[in-house]
Structure formats: C-alpha cells, structure tokens
Amino acid sequence: MKTILSVWKEQILLQQEQPDSGEEKLQKQAKMQRELEEILPRDEATLLSLYRMGARFNLLEEPHKRAASKLFIIVLVSQLIISQIPTLLGYPFGDNTMLFYGLNLPFLILLFLALYLVKERKYLVGYLSFLGILALLMNLQFSMTGTEEAQTKILALIHLPLLLVVSLALPTQKGSLQERMSRHIRLTGEVLLLTFLLACAVFVVTMLTFVLFEAVGVNVEDRLAPFVVTGILALLPLSARYLLQYRRGQIASLTRLLATIFLPVITVVMISFLGALVIGRLPITEDRNLLLVIDILLALVLMMILYATDLLESEQTTPFYRIVLITAALAAIGIDVFALIAIGGRFLQYGLSPNRLAVLAENLLLLANLGSLAVTLLRRRSFIRIQSIFMVIYALWFLIVVLLFGPLFGYM
C-alpha cells in the first residue's frame, strides 16, 4: 500500500506545472484518508481516498498466469505440429488409416494435457511412462494379424479414451482419492460441455468454409476435413481446459447453465423412451445398434448427473433441482433394466462374444452406480465416497477391455 501511495504522489508532483498545486492535492488526499480511517480499515481508506482524487488502478497480471499462457501456446502449437507428422509422411487420415488415428489421437491429446497440467516432475514422469507403455502395448496388439473390423479392436477404441480420462485424475489432482475424484468429476464435466460447444463452433466454421470455396469452384474438403479432425478437433480439450482455468468465472457459469438446461430435457426424453418401451414393447433385443445407443445415452446421463450432483452439493441449489436429478437417475435405471433384459436375451440366443460381455458388464456397473446415486440423493448424503470407488472400478474394467480382450478372444 505504501508503494501505491508513493507512486501516486510522484505522479502528482511530476504532472503539476506549479509545485504548490501538487502539494495541495497531496494534503487533500491525506485529510480525506484520515476521515475515511474512522469508518474503514487503513488500506481501504487509502485506496478509496486515492480513487476519489482521480487515481485509477489496473490489476497487474500475475507472473504465473503469464507463464501458463506461454506454456499453453507452446503445448498447443507442439500438439498441432506433431498431429500432422503422419500426413507429411504420406499417412493421411482416411478410411484405411482410421484405426491408426483412432488409437493414437487419444494418447496425443492426453500427452499434451499432462504436459500442460501436471506440475510435479515425479507425477509427470510417472504418468508419461504409463501412457508410453500403454501406447506401445496397444499398437503392438493392433499390428497383430486380424481383421480391421475386429470386435475387440473396436471395443478398445471405445474404452481407451474413457480409461485415459479417468486416469488423468491421479497426476493432476491433490489430496485423498475422494477429493481427487470429486474435483476431477466436476472439471471433466465442465471440459466436456465446453469442448462440445467449441466443436459445434468448429463444425459451423468448417461447413461455411466448404460452402464458400465450392461456390467459386474450389474443392477444399478433401484436404481441410482431415486437418480439422486430426489437428483442430484434437486441440479442443486442451483449449477448453485452459479457458476454464483462466476464464473460469464466465465459462463456469455457462457450463452450469447448459447442465441446468440439458438435464431436464434429457430426463423428459428418457421418460418418454421408457414409456415407449413399456407400452409399445419395442423389440430392442434384435437391434444391436439400439443397445449401443442406449449405453452411450446412459453413460452421458451418468456423467451429467455426477456433474449436476456435485453442483447441488457445493452450491446448494433449489429443491426442484434435486427432484430432477432423482427423476433422471430413476429413469436411467429403468432404461438400464430393459437393456440388461435385452442383453440377457442375446446371450441366450447367440452365446458369448466380446461385445456382449463388455455391454453386459458395463450395464451392470451403470445400474449399480445409478442406483447408489439415487439412494444418496434420496437420503441427502454425499456421493463422493461411493463414486470414487466406482471410478476406480470403471478404470480397472476399461483397462481389462483395452489390454486383455484381444488376447482372450483371439481378435474375434
């Protein structure tokens, strides 16, 4: 505070053509400060008196924030350059290379997220070692003989990003397992929502670019689309994480608004679909794609419920919000029960397969998780402890699917 006051005094004396005028201003400020000190703390009185005398203050950017911005730009540019190396080497994104990119892009995204987020060297080295070993094992498995559309390979591509997202909680968060998972769940929910918004913006800009160039007879889709998928879209999680870190006030309010809007809408959709299943007796057993869509819907609903429940506990929102959460959880449980019945029917009819085993196990996990959430919400208890256990179980299961399903089922 003394530094601020002395700087202001120097500026006043330098700006005045007549020294007497500057001294009068200083005396007036001192008198005003003494009067304000009768009702305010000394530092606040000093700042307010300076403000009333015409002084204006600019908050200085913290050095660590400037350093983080530089680190973000370096990491962002590095990821973009590395993501285009396969294309420069004659291995562009396309139908023949989709499996390669689907396997390695998640590792690339998590690698640079870790480089940006992990502050402690030992945690960073440990996590990068984990990523390197897992990437090596996965690429070795995928290079083995077998059809490109092998069920186990498709399952690995689906479960690998989920495993990596859960694993990122360990090196980037501090405290007990419960505290790490609590912060990670909330942050992951915000990152996913913001990444979705950024992806929509990229999609709109890309479509407009295609239309504009096609209008003048230039086809840029073949070259631009692969770059957008492998380069731009892959940067969105890192960009979302940066925005949440240093623009949290504005961005977090937007993600809360989206969660508040989306959850009731999805709840109505689930209730309507559940009613159609009960009344219309839809034959979901025969439709494998429908079962896959149901599983994706349940996973998204679970993630949204977890994020919204964390908001409920931390911000004490309205009782109506709790009712919506409980209704969403119960509707998801109802749909999950129908999915389990359908999967059981497929087991009896067609026997064991990697897809059916993975879907059965995950629906059982989702049922147990949603049921525990509904109970904790009804009893008004904290969900963090039980959810941290489920996150560990999910991670172990994802690891089994990614690493062991191939050897166990012989690349069916």
pTM of the predicted structure, to 2 decimals: 0.76
Q: How far is CA 79 from CA 93, 106, 229, 384, in A?
A: 16, 12, 13, 34
Residue 343, burial from CB neighbour count under 10 angstroms (0-12, 13-18, 19+):
buried
Residue 402, burial from CB neighbour count under 10 angstroms (0-12, 13-18, 19+):
buried
Query: Could you read off the pLDDT tens digit of each residue along the chain, which spans 412 residues?
Result: 545 556 555 555 555 444 445 667 777 777 777 777 666 676 667 776 766 666 655 544 455 566 668 888 999 999 999 999 998 888 888 888 888 899 999 999 999 999 998 888 888 899 999 999 999 999 988 887 554 457 788 888 888 998 999 888 888 777 777 777 777 887 887 888 889 889 999 999 999 998 888 888 888 888 888 999 999 999 999 999 888 877 666 666 676 777 777 788 888 888 888 888 777 666 666 666 677 777 778 888 888 887 777 666 655 556 777 888 888 889 889 988 888 888 888 788 778 888 888 888 988 999 999 899 888 888 877 777 788 888 889 999 999 999 888 888 765 5
- Separate counts of helices (H) and strands (E) for the chain: 17, 0
Domain ranges of the chain: 2-52, 63-245, 247-381
DSSP H or E segment with residue 122:
helix 121-143
Q: Scan for tokens 């699917």, then name that residue.
A: 401
Rounded to whole angstroms, the Cα distance separating 373 from 371 reads: 5
**61: which 2 tokens?**
């950017």
Number of residues that make up the chain: 412
Which phi and psi angles does 244 have, rounded to 5°?
-70, -30
Rounded to whole angstroms, the Cα distance separating 211 from 43 reads: 59
